[in-house]
Chains A and B, each alone.
Chain A
Amino acid sequence: MADPVDSGDELFESLRKIDLKKEEEKAKELARKEAEHNAKAQQRLAELIGTNSTLLVTISSIRLIGGAHTRRSFLDRLFNPLLSANRDRPYTLAEALNEVGSVATKLQRFDIFHPEVHTFIDRPSPTDPSSTVTDIDIFLQARERGRISLKTGTDLGNVEGSAYGNLTWRNIFGGAESLTLNASAGTRTRSAYQATFDAPVLSDPDTRATIDVLASSTLKPWASHEEVLKGAGAKFSWATKSGTRHQLGYTGVWRQITGLQSNASPTVRHDAGDTVKSSITHTWLADRRNHPFLPSRGYLVKTISELAGWGPLQGDVAFWKSEVETSGAVAIPIPGIKGDSGVSFTAGLRAGVLYPLAVGLGSETKHSRINDRFQLGGPTDVRGFKISGLGPRDGPDAVGGDIYAAGSANLLIPFPRVGKDMPLRLQLFANAGRLLALKDKKTSSESVYSTVAQLGDGIPSVAAGVGVVYAHPVARFELNFSLPLVMRRGEEGRKGLQFGVGINFL
């Protein structure tokens, strides 16, 4: 042990051998030191800002670094309101940083930059005669995303599998405009092609104008036909200060009901052929739920209103269609469990009415056609019924109705042992719905009123059951065991297991 030669060897050996443990420790130490350093720097900065938060500053310039393809005029609209030259009073430092932060978030939301946008602040050189003492310069550093991206993949939707190809051309004119070409084919959508041009208005990511063109062919097995669509539309969407969203759009679409199955009903045969729908649609959405697929508190209200064919709209069909969709969720506290128990109760209500009108300024009211009427039933709305299993039926076909109302109540309970943090719940549900065709009366309003009154005749069609809900980040999956309890003759219930995938459940 005491032999110096030996110990020298040992030293040599120890130098030659790379001690993994020691290396690891060293790396850890280094990382810790760096983190400490960063934290300290952050703290210092926070302190600095904290102590100087009331310091008056003026923003003399904002510069975006790394926006080579982004238009100056587009950025001007975003940055100009911040510049002190355009404001009547100076900022405090805290205010200024806040404003810059919100602009950085806006930049990210245009989807033309990579998610990390860094902010730097600098003081202009005091030797510059044009600068004042309070002036600061802002530098935003961002990295533009690739301008063209191609994506292919497969989708699994409601009883439908499909494959798609998607080509996106981003930031076409340097103002976050995008052109998306989409092609897909699937089990039910035989083919679909869509081109969408989308651009933010006045550099506001929440205000958008969209133009789209589409051509598609979809099988409608519940009504023994295939619908071929060719159309174009323009939409304008915006958000209000309170966070609700509006969308106003015009659509002109040539619809063809064709490819009828051999046992298609006379009702479907009668509606076969060409129609043009020319309509304006307004959608309003207030979503205050805490989770899109598995909410435990909050509510959602959505209204859709569509006016087709009336006055200058022309076309072959004319109607006013209104739909309301609401849902709410409350967390249920369980005695003995501290905090959030994970048990929640959700309820939803949907209703819609189609009011027939005359095309143009004519006086002859057009009866509704199968492609305009509502369909109800299926694993994502009234569970315990087949897809379009509710409402009027002619032979094998669900021919749809003009007025509907549907509601559901669900109790969601976390699985024991799995816990409330997993997006997995046991569900007990009961849902009901009614889908009716307009009655034959002298005037449209009479037939609408009497049909609405008919919604209350007897018990609505009801189903109840238990199931498992899984909220995947992209969609909600449900597997339910259901029993239809009340039905109309001809309506198609689903006794037993039913699987549902979707993003919008009742």
Chain B
Amino acid sequence: MPPQESTEKVAEEQSSFSRSTSKVRDFFSIPAPVKQLFDLVPVVTYPPNQLPLRAPKSARIPSLYVFSKDQDAAAGRPSFNPSCLKWQTFLNIAGVDHRLISSNNHSSPTGSLPFLLPAIYGPNSSQDSLVPITSNKFVKYAIEHGGKVEESSSMRYEAYQSLLDHRIRNAWLYTLYLEPLNFSAVAYPLYVLPTSSNPLVRASISHQLRSAAEAELLKNTSIIDTDDLYSEADKAFEALSILLGEDSWFFGSDKPALFDASVFAYTQLLLDDDLGWKEKKLCRALRRRANLVQHRERLLVRYFGGS
């Protein structure tokens, strides 16, 4: 029975091979008596230590980290940062229950707010629940967690979104950070004062903010032309106004969607008198479009209790 013999031989070889590999493994693994010793300790294990007082209280709902004042965050009022406000509004529209946490860019995994921290159920939750969800995954998250999400598939959607992301955003950056009157009246108290009480730190952060805004604007042009920025924004508002027309929501939808939230992110902040705008060119351009003003009112009443 030669074939059997050879298989036996092969088996033998295999077993000797596995024996030698297990020897190698044994060399690196913990010897049995030591393993037994390790299993004995710790002899006593007490309940975990209490967390420090500043640690946020764990919640059963996810936490949305945004730029906000502490008391506004607790009351769920609109964030003062457009991209935070866009996603805050989106989550409200989608009906994803969340709490707001006032924070800053340093806490974010991407270096900018907002992000969502999933709900934590007790101290035994898995490590995954600590990994934050960045804003580009919010739509997916909302769908997965039973949110009502209207997907706008219109071809025109992209074009109008780019109006917001470029023309209006550029004018926004200019009017907030580079108009000196607005910077000291609006941006400074919102973005700089909460960081530190130290005047040197505040001066340094002010400088960083302004130069970051300038660098962002200079990405596409070689010089910053104020009139051009404002007139482009004016045209963009005009286009949005025409798009909305007599409808309640954009793209003739019967319910608001992400695009409505994107528009609201700017219209809410430009029309909010509490922010104390000093140079109001951009605000006036928006106020001339009555249907956009009404659109903002509609969302504010419906999702933020009209405050």
B48: A residues at CB distance < 8 A: 392-393, 488-490
B127-A263 in contact (CB<8A): yes
A359 to B43, CA, bound (A): 44
A262 to B129, CA, bound (A): 11
Instruction: Give 1 or 0 for each of B39-68: 1 = CB within 8 Å of chain A CB.
Output: 001111111111111111010000101000
A316 to B197, CA, bound (A): 6
Identify A490's interface contact among B49, B104, B109, B117, CB under 8 A.
Answer: B49
Query: Is B38 interfacial (CB-CB < 8 Å)?
Result: yes
B43-A266 in contact (CB<8A): no
> Are A392 and B196 also in contact (CB < 8 A) when A266-B117, A269-B117 are?
no
B198-A316 in contact (CB<8A): yes
> Are A260 and B107 also in contact (CB < 8 A) when A269-B65, A316-B196 are?
yes
A439-B198 in contact (CB<8A): no
B127-A435 in contact (CB<8A): no
Interface on chain A toward B: helix, strand, loop, or mixed SS?
loop
A42 to B185, CA, bound (A): 83
B38: A residues at CB distance < 8 A: 483, 495-496
Query: Is B10 interfacial (CB-CB < 8 Å)?
Result: no
B51-A392 in contact (CB<8A): yes
B205-A270 in contact (CB<8A): no
B195: A residues at CB distance < 8 A: 273-274
> Are A262 and B109 also in contact (CB < 8 A) when A276-B197, A276-B198 are?
yes
Identify B41's interface contact among A394, A399, A400, A495, CB under 8 A.
Answer: A495
A266 to B117, CA, bound (A): 8
Chain A interface, number of residues (Cβ within 8 angstroms) = 59
Interface on chain B toward A: helix, strand, loop, or mixed SS?
loop
Query: Is B130 interfacial (CB-CB < 8 Å)?
Result: yes
Q: Which residue of B lies closest to A402 (CB)?
A: B52
Query: Is A409 interfacial (CB-CB < 8 Å)?
Result: no
Query: Is A254 interfacial (CB-CB < 8 Å)?
Result: yes
Query: Is B175 interfacial (CB-CB < 8 Å)?
Result: no
A267-B52 in contact (CB<8A): yes
B127-A399 in contact (CB<8A): no
Identify A437's interface contact among B42, B43, B53, B196, CB under 8 A.
Answer: B53
Distance from B53 Cβ to chain A, minimum over Cβ atoms (Å):
4
Q: Which residue of B lies closest to A437 (CB)?
A: B52
Distance from A305 Cβ to chain B, minimum over Cβ atoms (Å):
21
A53 to B18, CA, bound (A): 87
A370 to B55, CA, bound (A): 10
Query: Is B131 interfacial (CB-CB < 8 Å)?
Result: yes
Query: Is A368 interfacial (CB-CB < 8 Å)?
Result: yes
Query: Is A353 interfacial (CB-CB < 8 Å)?
Result: no
B200: A residues at CB distance < 8 A: 254
A269: B residues at CB distance < 8 A: 65, 103, 107, 117
Within 8 A of B (CB), among A270-318: 270-276, 278, 314-316
> Are A399 and B52 also in contact (CB < 8 A) when A266-B117, A316-B196, A484-B41 are?
yes
B74: A residues at CB distance < 8 A: none
A488: B residues at CB distance < 8 A: 45-49
Instruction: Give 1 or 0 for each of B120-139: 1 = CB within 8 Å of chain A CB.
Output: 10010001001110000000
Within 8 A of B (CB), among A472-498: 483-491, 493, 495-496
Distance from B19 Cβ to chain A, minimum over Cβ atoms (Å):
26
> Are A394 and B55 also in contact (CB < 8 A) when A269-B117, A273-B106 are?
yes
A443 to B214, CA, bound (A): 47
A436-B50 in contact (CB<8A): yes
A262-B131 in contact (CB<8A): yes
Query: Is A94 interfacial (CB-CB < 8 Å)?
Result: no
Query: Is B181 interfacial (CB-CB < 8 Å)?
Result: no
Within 8 A of A (CB), among B86-145: 101, 103-104, 106-109, 117, 120, 123, 127, 130-132
Query: Is B37 interfacial (CB-CB < 8 Å)?
Result: yes
A265 to B130, CA, bound (A): 6
Q: Which residue of B lies closest to A395 (CB)?
A: B130
Distance from A129 Cβ to chain B, minimum over Cβ atoms (Å):
65
Query: Is B201 interfacial (CB-CB < 8 Å)?
Result: yes
B109-A392 in contact (CB<8A): no
Q: Which residues of B contact A (CB under 8 A)?
A: 30, 34, 37-38, 41-56, 58, 63, 65, 101, 103-104, 106-109, 117, 120, 123, 127, 130-132, 195-198, 200-201, 205
Can you name 30 A-B residue pairings with CB atoms under 8 Å? Answer: A254-B200, A260-B106, A260-B109, A266-B55, A266-B58, A266-B120, A267-B56, A269-B107, A272-B106, A273-B103, A273-B195, A274-B201, A276-B198, A276-B201, A314-B198, A367-B53, A369-B54, A396-B127, A399-B51, A399-B52, A437-B50, A458-B46, A459-B44, A483-B38, A486-B42, A487-B46, A489-B48, A490-B48, A493-B41, A495-B41
Top 9 nearest A-B pairs (CB, nearest first) are A272-B107, A437-B52, A272-B106, A267-B55, A276-B198, A367-B54, A392-B49, A489-B48, A367-B53
| Given contact pairs A276-B197, A315-B198, a sample of 14 additional A-B residue pairs in the complex whose CB atoms are under 8 Å apart | A254-B201, A271-B54, A272-B106, A273-B103, A274-B201, A370-B52, A373-B52, A396-B127, A484-B42, A485-B44, A488-B45, A488-B47, A490-B48, A496-B34
